[in-house]
Amino acid sequence: MKKGWQTKKLSEVCEIIMGQSPDGESYNTTGEGVPLINGPVEFSAESFGKTVRTKFTTQPTKFCKEGDLILCVRGSTTGRMNIAGFDACVGRGVAAIRAKQYQPWINHFISSKRDEIHGKGTGATFPNVSGDSLANFELVVPPLTEQQRIVGLLDEAFEDLATAKANAEKNLRNARALFESHLQSVFTQRGPGWRTKSLMQACQFSNGLWKGEKPPFVNVGVIRNTNFTKEGTLDDSDIAYLDVEVKKLEKRRLQFGDIILEKSGGGPKQPVGRVALFDKNEGEFSFSNFTSALRVLDSDDLDFRFLHKFLYWIYVSGVTQGMQSNSTGIRNLDADAYKAIEITYPPLAEQRQIADNLESLREETQRLARLYERKHAALAALKKSLLHQAFNGEL
């Protein structure tokens, strides 16, 4: 350890306020009482972002002050942090950590130790970090001027990393917007020789299956909602292999060019109606009971790739948003409304040319997505390395 640096317990350099949840009947969203910070719901996206007001309590228990570090100490988000944007009551899902000398040093240190903090949680399925565990957590403490110098270097470096990340995200958003704009221009145009059909007229629809109940069985790959990507392609990294009934598989065996439709599932911010193109020539595959499969009835009239791009556009343009209902927390697609959707399409040769052009654009979007993921991983690794250097006296 560098000269002048010390190892101390967190309780020696900070005041630690373990949260305590008020009576649930005191909660409100009308601003009565004081703001309540109970966990990630009140967090903004970045670790050093400010908390937000979502609920209030008229019976506050423990308090944090504006500028305190707020740390999640319960559940799967243990170790996640934010900065208190205001004085508030803290519930039992969080702890407030207030430095006795220099808060930014504590903030960066806790940020660098998220995995270790999570590891200190007791309980296999629901981690819970105790006040004693936090109090005894050790950290290095250099002289104040050294803390300030290192924090200045970290803040400057992290600002540059955030800018690089934001630029990469912007490039990816622009590429996706360009692709979706091109889809819009293609599927809203009309020209000589274009025809119109409903999906019911153009396709065969089949409902999916799940694990078999009556033998004989056969083991096949079953495409699930988790295998759909944002770009409308198939992610085959975790296909489930299940024993399904031979009889049911006969009419549900996927063929190259089939389009798999998500008919149930989704989430608060993700409507159902996603599609994925089945592009495999080998192996035995079917699709889950949360999905349906569409197969073009006349391949001399309608190209499956053109249809797939059309259905992808239907989803991203929000058409399926108005075709769903909720039951037990799951979104369900109105099958009749979906089958009634009309597709207008040009002669086959033109369909294929359009599909080729759209595929080239999609591949460029995916290339940028992969580039962004690699850059994001590299920036995260660099940030971790900088924090390691900082708390080992190497900056």
Domain assignment present for 99: yes
Q: Does 158 score more than 80 pLDDT? A: yes
Same domain, 199 and 341: yes
Structure tokens at 157: 């470096």
CB-CB contact of 277 with 232 (8 Å): yes
pLDDT at 124: 59
Mean pLDDT of all residues in 24-53: 93
> Coil, helix or strand for 245?
strand
Q: What is the total count of domains within the chain?
A: 3
Q: Which domain holds residue 240?
A: 195-345
**Structure token digits, residue 294:** 């569409």
Same domain, 222 and 170: no
**Whether residue 186 sits in one domain with residue 256:** no
Q: Give the span between the Cα atoms of 66 and 31, in whole angstroms.
A: 18
* 1 domain residue, yes or no: no
Reported as a single tens digit per residue, the pLDDT across 1-14 is: 688 899 999 999 99
HEC secondary structure over 278-311: CCCCCCCEEEECCEEEEEECCCCCCCHHHHHHHH
Q: How confident is the model at residue 34, as a pLDDT? A: 96
What is the per-residue pLDDT for 231?
A: 83
User: Residue 326: is its pLDDT beyond 80?
Assistant: no
- 18 and 122 belong to one structural domain: yes
**How many CB atoms lie under 10 A from the CB of residue 114?**
16
pLDDT digits (tens, 9 = 90+) for 178-234: 888 888 888 988 888 899 999 999 999 999 998 888 899 999 999 999 999 888 889
Query: Which 3-state string (H, E, C) describes 33-100?
Result: CEEEECCHHHCCCCCCCECCCCCEECCCCEEECCCCEEEECECCCCCCEEECCCCEEECCCEEEEEEC
Q: Are residues 74 and 60 in the same domain?
A: yes
Q: Give pLDDT, residue 123.
A: 67
- d(Cα 353, Cα 228) in Å, to the nearest integer? 25
CATH number for the domain spanning 351: value is: 1.10.287
Check if the beta carbon of residue 256 is closer than 8 Å to that of residue 298: no
pLDDT tens digits, residue range 333-362? 999 999 999 999 999 999 999 999 999 988
Tell whether 201 is covered by a domain: yes
Of the candidate ranges 110-114, 221-225, 284-288, the one whose mean pLDDT is the lowest: 110-114
Would residue 204 count as lying in a domain? yes
Do 140 and 6 form a contact (C-beta atoms < 8 A)?
yes
**Is the pLDDT assigned to residue 125 strictly greater than 70?**
no
Phi, psi (rounded to 5 degrees) for 31: 90, 10
Residue 37 scores a pLDDT above 90: yes
- Percentages helix, strand, coil for the chain (3-state, rounded to 5) are 40, 25, 35
On average, the pLDDT of the chain sits at 91
User: Does residue 33 come out as left (phi exceeding 0), alpha (psi in the -120 to 50 range) or beta?
Assistant: left
156 with 208, same domain: the answer is: no
Whether 108 and 244 map to the same domain: the answer is: no
Q: Using one digit for the tens of pLDDT, what is the confidence trace for 376-393?
A: 888 888 888 888 888 888
- Token reading at 80: 């996640």
Q: Give the residues across from 7 on adjacent strands.
A: 140
> Are 135 and 150 contained in the same domain?
no
Q: Which of 142, 174, 209 is the last residue of a domain?
A: 142
Which range, 174-178, 270-274, 369-373, is most confident? 270-274
For residue 335, tell me if it sits in a domain.
yes
Domain end point (choices 330, 345, 360):
345
Is position 53 within any domain? yes
Mean pLDDT, rounded, for 33-54: 93
- Are 133 and 46 part of one and the same domain? yes
Sign of CA dihedral 356, 357, 359, 363: positive
Whether 232 is in a domain gets the answer yes
| 293 touches 333 (CB < 8 A) | no
Q: What's the whole-number mean pLDDT along residues 100-125?
A: 86
CATH number at residue 237: 3.90.220.20
The type of residue at 311 is: L
3-class secondary structure, 212: coil
Statement: the pTM of the whole predicted model exceeds 0.85: no
| Domain stops at, among 142, 158, 177 | 142
pLDDT at 118 over 70: yes
Answer yes or no: do 307 and 219 share one domain. Answer: yes
Most confident by average pLDDT, 13-17, 170-174, 263-267, 327-331 = 13-17
* Whole-number Å distance between alpha carbons of 366 and 385: 29
Residues 6+ apart with CB under 8 A from 25: none
The verdict on 283 and 211 lying in the same domain is yes
In this predicted structure, the answer to whether residue 266 has a pLDDT above a threshold of 80 is no
Residue 251, pLDDT above cutoff 70:
yes
Judged against a pLDDT cut of 80, whether residue 327 lies above it is answered with no
Asked if residue 311 and residue 269 are part of one domain, the reply reads: yes
pLDDT of residue 366: 82
Q: What whole-number percentage of the chain has pLDDT above 90? A: 65
